[in-house]
Structure 1
Amino acid sequence: MNSIHQKKTFGDHLMTLKKGWWVLCLLTLLLAGAGYAVSTYVIPPTYEATAYILVVPQQNAETTSTTTLVSTYQDILRSPEVIDQVAQKMDVTDKRIFDLTNRLTVASNLDSQVIALSVTDRSAEQAAIQANTMTEVFQDYVPQLIKTSSTEVFSTARIPTEPVSPNILMNTAIGGILGLLFGLLIVYSRALGKKSVAEETKETSYPQAVSHPSRS
């Protein structure tokens, strides 16, 4: 009995989806296209350029762990003093460069002597220029603070050719999935509505018999 009921339920689902296939396809294509269009023509692209700095501890200096030095350098790179000097070196007169703190990412792998300095910008060229300028300022600024190590630019930032955001493929896929979900909601809502109307019509067409009291 249960197997028959399950087959019937599965068949009902297939019938519902078959009747509303055009709604599913239409909404999936519309929202996927909207996600693609917004990502391509509305959201401005953002580029990321990365420079790599090598931390070299001095042999004759006091023992200091490489992890501590890297962590210290990461804090120095994020400091307002370094960012201000980057702005001065680039001859920036407006305050646009001062939002560099929010566009700057400084990271390193565990037990690594290499620091990855990444800068994002709407301009691919500006992202590379700002990253390389920061490494130059950092190399001039660090010896004044820490004399137990030195830094070398392991790799300068190159002008990126592809934006890091928006992710057109992901946004298109998300739009398509949302369209499919909205389509399923509409299709099943219509099916439930028709079923309710049919049940009400059936009850109205076959009213229950009213029993009359017998005459004595």
Structure 2
Amino acid sequence: MNTMHQKRTFADHLMTLKKGWWILIVCAILFAGAGYLISTYVIKPTYEATAYILVVPQKSSDTTSSTSLVSTYQDILRSPEVVDQVAQKMGVTDKRLFDLTDRLTVSSNLDSQVIALSITDGSAEQAAIQANTMTEVFQDYLPQLINTSSTEVFSTARIPTKPMSPNILMNTAIGGVLGLMFGLLIVYSRVLGKKSATESTKDDASYPQAVSRPHS
């Protein structure tokens, strides 16, 4: 009995989807198109440029402290003093680089002596310039603080050719999925509406009607 009921329910769902397939397709296309258009023409692209700095201990036996040095350098790179010097070296007068810490990412792999310095910007060229300027300022500023090691620029930041965001393909796919969900909501809402109307009609038909008697 339950198996028959499940088969009948599954068949009802298939029939519902079969009748409303065009609604699902239209909604998916509309939402996917909206995701593509918003990603292409509304959201401003963001570019990321990365420079790599190699931490070089002065003593060959000091390799055990390289990990702690990397952590220290990460904090120095994020310091306001370094950011201020970057702004000064670039000749910035409107203080727009003071938000550099919000666009700066400093990372390194475990037990690695290489620091990755990444900066995001709306301009691909500016992202590379800011990253390379920060590495130069860092190398000049570091000897004033720490004399136990030195740094070398392992790889300068290159001008990115593609934006890191928005991800047009992903946003388009998300729009398509949302469109399918919205389409399913419409399809099943229509089915429930028809069922409610049918049940209301049956109730009206089964309700006893008053019969008028002829006057004598």
TM range, smaller chain: over 0.9
What residue in structure 2 maps to residue 156 of structure 1?
156
Matched residue SS, 1:166: coil
Q: Is residue 128 of structure 1 aligned with residue 131 of structure 2?
A: no
SS in 2 for 1:110: coil
Alignment of 1:67-216 (within 5 A): 67-207=67-207
Secondary structure, counterpart of 1:65 in structure 2: helix
TM-fit CA distance, 1:125: 0.5
Residue 41 of structure 2 corresponds to which residue in structure 1? 41
TM-aligned CA deviation for residue 15 of structure 1: 1.2
Q: Do the aligned residues in 2 keep the contact of 1:61 with 1:148 (CA within 8 Å)?
A: no
Q: 1:201 to 1:83 in 2, by over 3 A?
A: same
1:3-18 → structure 2 map (5 Å cutoff) = 3-18=3-18
Moved over 4 A (4+): 60-64
Q: How big is the alpha-carbon RMSD for the aligned residues of Structure 1 and Structure 2?
A: 1.6
Query: Within 1, Cα distance between the matches of 2:63 and 2:175?
Result: 55
The worse-fitting range, judged by mean Cα deviation, of 96-105 and 63-72 is 63-72
1:214 matched residue in structure 2? none
Count residues with an aligned counterpart. 209
**Unmatched tracts of structure 2, length 5 or more:** 210-216
Secondary structure in 1 matching 2:159: coil
Give the partner amino acid of 2:166: P
Letter of the 1:170 partner, please give it.
M
Distance 1:110 1:173 in 2: 35
1:45–1:164: 8 Å Cα contact kept in structure 2?
yes
Judge conservation of contact 1:62–1:148 (CA < 8 Å) in 2.
no
For residue 102 of structure 1, what is the amino acid of its counterpart?
A: D
TM-superposition CA deviations, 1:7-55 (whole Å, max 9, x none): 1111111111112111111111101000000000111110000000000
Question: Which stretch shows the higher mean deviation, 7-16 or 155-164?
Answer: 7-16
Assess, with a 3 A threshold, how the Cα gap between structure 1 residues 60 and 25 changes in structure 2: closer, same or farther: closer
TM-score (norm 1): 0.93
CA 2–118 in structure 1, closer or farther in 2 if over 3 Å, else same: same
Identity %: 79
* 1-structure distance, mates of 2:153, 2:60: 22
In 2: Cα distance, 1:64 partner to 1:166 partner: 41
**Structure 2: distance between partners of 1:16 and 1:196:** 16
